[in-house]
Amino acid sequence: MGATEFPGDHLATTNGLVTIQPIYHASFVMKWGEKYIYNDPAPPGNFAGRPKADLILVSHSHGDHFNAAAIDTLWKTNTVIIAPQLVHNSLSTKFRANAVVLTNGANTNVLGLNVAAVPAYNSNHPQGQGNGYVVTIGGRRLYMAGDTGDTPEMKALQRIDVAFLPMNLPFTMNITNAAHAVRALRPTVVYPYHFRNSDGTYARTNVFKELVGRDTGTEVRLRKWY
């Protein structure tokens, strides 16, 4: 499947092109060469007919991030799952065959890339139970924040090329906190994602973009997540 057959945003690396394609809420897929990397696949994202996963990243055990049926739809014999311990405990024997547990601060090399687990927590998500991830591909660093506040660990990250930041109430950051996080991180590109609030409304991502401003040098990419 070539670039024209797999639409999305492109990120050039020293080891080939990465194509980023939103799916739904916190779910997205990245195509790198012939490898497919899925982040937090869960309904109501539609995974039927999508390419099978080479790598699945699961941030934590909540149902809008971890869903066994979605994983099974994307599964093939050598699919690798990276997840925190609580998620690993819930995996079936089949899924555990190639599963890797990452605790906050740990990292692993897999499929020619590096995945580092970053603490993801706030008042709704106890510290140590969930991960954000920094995925390094060909010198480029992509940060998937998971469900988190604007933590010191997040703000201390360096050289982030692409960041995915959640902003929904009451579970993650509000748009002001998310904008503060961007001003600390200074990523080249930021995607607001996971921005459906508990009452069914959506965070005002256009206002988030204004709050980030132009002086940061960060491109805010507003894409269709719902």
Residue 225 lies in a domain: no
pTM across the whole model? 0.96
CB count in 10 Å sphere of residue 43? 14
112-119: long-range contacts, CB 8 A cutoff, minimum separation 24: 112/15, 112/137, 113/32, 113/137, 115/57, 115/82, 117/84, 118/143, 118/145, 118/146, 118/153, 118/154, 118/157, 119/148, 119/151, 119/153
Number of domains in the chain: 1
Residue 226 lies in a domain: no
Residue 147 lies in a domain: yes
Q: Which domain holds residue 19?
A: 9-220
- Give the CATH number of the domain where residue 163 resides: 3.60.15.10
Residue 128 lies in a domain: yes
Residue 1 lies in a domain: no
Per-position pLDDT tens, the chain of length 226:
444 479 999 999 999 999 999 999 999 999 999 999 999 999 999 999 999 999 999 999 999 999 999 999 999 999 999 999 999 999 999 999 999 999 999 999 999 999 999 999 999 999 999 999 999 999 999 999 999 999 999 999 999 999 999 999 999 999 999 999 999 999 999 999 999 999 999 999 999 999 999 899 999 999 999 9
Residue 4 lies in a domain: no
Residue 131 lies in a domain: yes
Residue 76 lies in a domain: yes
